[in-house]
Chain A
Amino acid sequence: MKTLLETAGLRKVYTAGKIQIEALRGVDLRIREGELVAIMGPSGCGKSTLMHVLGAMTKPTAGKVVIDGQEISGMGDNELTRIRRDKIGFVFQKFNLLPTLTARANIDIARYIHGNGVRSNGHDQHLREILQLLMIENKMGRKPSELSGGEQQRFAIARAVANQPAILLADEPTGSLDSKNSEVVLNMFRELNRKFRQTVILVTHNPELAAFTDRLIEMRDGVIVGDNDSVSWDTESELAQPAPSV
């Protein structure tokens, strides 16, 4: 299977006043196309920072990140924006639907941005199938405030995958949901992965969530401490050379 995402020697340092916080301390990671992966670890272990770097939301302090064949660590803001627009779909713990827009408009705005300002009619069949899968077709006219938490998260997922991104990144997607809705949402991720071969990376501190995934990567103190990847790699790493240190 094709390597979709790869990091080498990934480091991220935040500066708060005179204090430097090393959130990522050399992360080496490879994720294949079509995988359903959970990145798990306690709060503060750097998993959200990793998600932001993998999602081209922020640049690493050092190290390399290759997303779908493109090395992003040296990219400027415009190029990172393009990567987010073309390759990434985000799902957040707090849903992050635009509150003034209807659920339909929330999806439309993602497609509009993806179409670079042009209203897109493409992907309609794909979107229909997604909406059917998520069972939210009949609530498209509602505003986020008129939806339950589970419904909001399902719309957030629909928005994230509406443009068929290479990678779906979900940061604590069940963190604001009750157990019943959590299960529904997690099943949706699994269905998306199975049915559409959508690459999904779930970031969580919840061990129960890991049971829904094929692969579990464990993090602690900014480094990967465990990976139950059972499939052998049939290609060499593109980032075989060690990354420069900070």
Chain B
Amino acid sequence: MNKQMIIAGLKARPVRTTVSLLAVALEVVLILVVVGLTSGISDETGRRTEGVGADILLQPPNSSLFLALSNTTMPIVLRERLRELPGIKAITPVQTLVNSSAGLEIIYGIEPDTFDAVSNGFIWHKGRLFNAPDEVVVDDIYAKAKGVTVGDTVELVNHKFKVCGIVEHGKGARLFISLKMAQEMTGQTGKASLFFIKLTDPDRVETAIAEIKRLLEGYGVIPLREYARLMMSNSMPALDAFISSVVFIALCIGVLVIFLSMYTTITERTREIGILRSLGASKTFIVTLIFEESAAVCLAGALIGIGSSFLIARIIMAVFPTLTILITPDWITRAVIFAVLSGIIGSLYPSLKAAQQDPVEALAYE
């Protein structure tokens, strides 16, 4: 019976119901898309870095897991000392650059031979490896997103590069230039931002890490298979704060909209509440009715929001192929909980106000 009353009430005020649904949906979209975008980019970057195929990532002291944020370097000669350790199969130095002229792209400056030894080589779609300092290899997603092909010129970090090859995505960066050119552009001759290390036996990762840490005290040494997880966890407190802020703002939107919606509802329906009270409906009945109506709006709005989030994610990823939006079941659940929570908080005062109405006065309300 409550369901019938709630549906009838919602249908009787289609504009307000629609606005409330859209507002709750917006709350959910805001949470899912923004969180999905931030975690998607981190996750995709992490997976791409893991996709290099190395076992260990070595960084200079005080480096960030966000490779784009690291400007620390280490001498490439360290590689010789590392090679003396047991079980090291291959080591490749990488100098990272950040191209921020159109988005934020990491460029890897690589040594082709050692990079191939660690990563088992690129899968080529088109073209060849760079032969000259002003040549760049791009991955297929970058090529599609920017609409470039072999022979085209792209501008990276104020330098013009000719696209010489297109490779399958998933090997660390989307753009690859020669290590020498990267060192020149960053003024870090003979140095590298990181080493990817491949072991002869991947099961020896923990032992190898311990040995490297003993050899290079203070350096960042992490198993690459945990890179994505580490990127997403406590290593990014600023991201956590950002996500918390977005969730809080979304929750505020939801609370305010539901509050306004339910407050106007009970004002408009004062007489109806009086009728229900005259029929013997208890205060609890009235509170429950308002809560259930708000929960229905929030749940329906959340469903619309979830569907819209997936749709928006697809549109964004179609328009910007280099972006990844990761909408996880975990965050879907949280978004629904936040939506329902906003409904409960938003309808708390209106429902109590409705229940406290004097039946005689409520019936006299015009």
Contact = CB atoms under 8 A, between A and B. Distances in A.
Nearest to B356: A77
A78 B278 CA distance: 13
B236 interface: no
B359 to A, nearest CB: 5
Contacts of B12: 99-100
Contacts of A57: 277-278, 359-360
Interface in B332-366: 358-360, 363
Given A84-B280, A113-B285, A105 B275 contact: no
Interface string A77-109: 110011011101010100011111100010011
Interface residues of B, number: 24
Contacts of A77: 283
Contacts of B100: none
Contact of A81 (B271, B272, B274, B280): B280
B contact patch SS: helix
B131 interface: no
B293 to A, nearest CB: 12
B265 to A, nearest CB: 11
A85 B359 contact: no
Nearest to B359: A57
B283 A109 contact: no
A112 interface: yes
A100 to B, nearest CB: 4
A101 B5 contact: yes
Contacts of B233: none
Given A57-B359, A58-B360, A109-B5, A96 B280 contact: no
Bin the interface of chain A by size. Answer: 20 to 34
A55 B359 CA distance: 11
B11 interface: yes
A86 B280 CA distance: 8
Contacts of A82: 280
Contacts of B4: 101, 105, 108
B272 A98 contact: yes
B104 interface: no
A52 B360 contact: yes
Interface in A7-40: none
Interface in A159-192: 159
A58 B359 CA distance: 8
A119 interface: yes
B319 to A, nearest CB: 43
A98 B1 contact: no
B241 interface: no
Most buried by A among B8, B277, B278: B278
Interface string B270-291: 0110111111111101000000
Contacts of A52: 360
Interface string A172-215: 00000000000000000000000000000000000000000000
B9 interface: yes
B8 A105 contact: yes
Given A58-B358, A96-B363, A119-B1, A110 B279 contact: yes
A86 B281 CA distance: 11
Contacts of B363: 92, 96
Contacts of A117: 285
A104 to B, nearest CB: 10
13 contacts: A55-B278, A58-B360, A81-B277, A84-B278, A85-B281, A90-B279, A96-B271, A96-B278, A99-B272, A105-B5, A109-B279, A112-B1, A114-B280
- Top 5 A-B pairs ranked by shortest CB distance? A85-B280, A100-B8, A112-B1, A100-B12, A84-B280
